[in-house]
Amino acid sequence: MTKVFKWGFLIVLALFFVVPLLAMARFAFQSVPVALLTGETWLKGWSIDPIIAASTEPAMWTAARTSALLAVFTIILTLVLLLPLAIVTEIKAPRMRPWLTALTLLPWVVPPIALVVGVSVTFRTGAPWFLASVFSLVPFYALWAMPFTYRALDAGLQAISARTLYEAARSTGASFPTIILRVILPNMKASIVAAAALTTALVLGEFAFASLLLKETLPTFMVNFQQSQARAGLALALIILIFTALAIGIVVRTLRRRGLNVQTTGL
């Protein structure tokens, strides 16, 4: 009975996600209206012209370049802030792990509009150049990605038994910087890549901060583009959605191969 319930739940869950994606694909790549769909026409009218139309838009490539740069700088910022903190907490103060894990959830407590309004009021008079730059999105993205990034890094530290490695290296006379650079970090490549991939997926899909700060990123471009070319806009959104899902799937597969187990709360 339990097995039947499990498979039934998985099938319903799969249909919940797959059916809307199939509807998106049909609307984006098939020109036959729904009212005219029959057994004879459901294979007709399929074309990749919408995605070609989207890829020929210069503004799309500009927005994609902006999102790619934002992803790179967001990854750098999150790793600079969280990687040393996660390592020191694990090897020096493991009792603080639950509190640090809970602390990383705080950015999700505050709505995006509240964060943007608060920061805008603070920087509008003192540093208007900060809000004028597209890179003003980087701190917001770093905060929003913090729960994913920290959990990936923490899972990596748990998987390699970082505290045990630290104590073993200290017993051989290695200095703290040597332990971090030559022992801990080389063993954390998988979790660092996982954190970077999750951050990239978030940046590619985040709309609220970019829209509130009036920045042209890939998500904001797609929303505006769909208003003028609905089929091409949905085709582009579907391709990016599939790319993001594949990236996250690769991350999950890598984590499982490395024996990493990401906790949701850490408490």
Contact between 131 and 116 (Cβ < 8 Å): no
Angle 23-26-32 from CA coordinates, rounded to 5°: 125
Contact between 67 and 218 (Cβ < 8 Å): yes
Contact between 46 and 108 (Cβ < 8 Å): no
Q: Specify the 3-state DSSP secondary structure of 30.
A: strand
140 or 128: which carries more pLDDT confidence? 140
Average model confidence (pLDDT) across the chain: 81
**Cα separation of 189 and 184, whole Å?**
9
Q: How far apart are the first and last CA of the chain?
A: 32
**H helix or E strand, kind and range, residue 12:** helix 2-29
Position 3 pLDDT exceeds 90: no
User: Hey, where are the domains in the chain?
Assistant: 15-47, 57-257
Q: How confident is the model at residue 92, as a pLDDT? A: 82
- What tens digit of pLDDT does each residue of 24-50 get? 787 778 777 665 666 666 667 777 878
Alpha helices in 30-136 (DSSP H): 49-55, 58-92, 97-103, 112-126, 128-132
Q: What is the CATH number of domain 57-257?
A: 1.10.3720.10
* Res. 267 pLDDT band, cuts 50 70 90: very low
- What tens digit of pLDDT does each residue of 168-203 get? 888 888 888 888 888 888 888 888 888 888 888 888
**Cα separation of 178 and 188, whole Å?**
15
**Cα separation of 230 and 238, whole Å?**
12
Residue 265: phi, psi to the nearest 5?
Answer: -120, -35
- What tens digit of pLDDT does each residue of 222-250 get? 888 888 888 888 888 888 888 877 877 77
Q: What pTM did the predictor assign?
A: 0.80
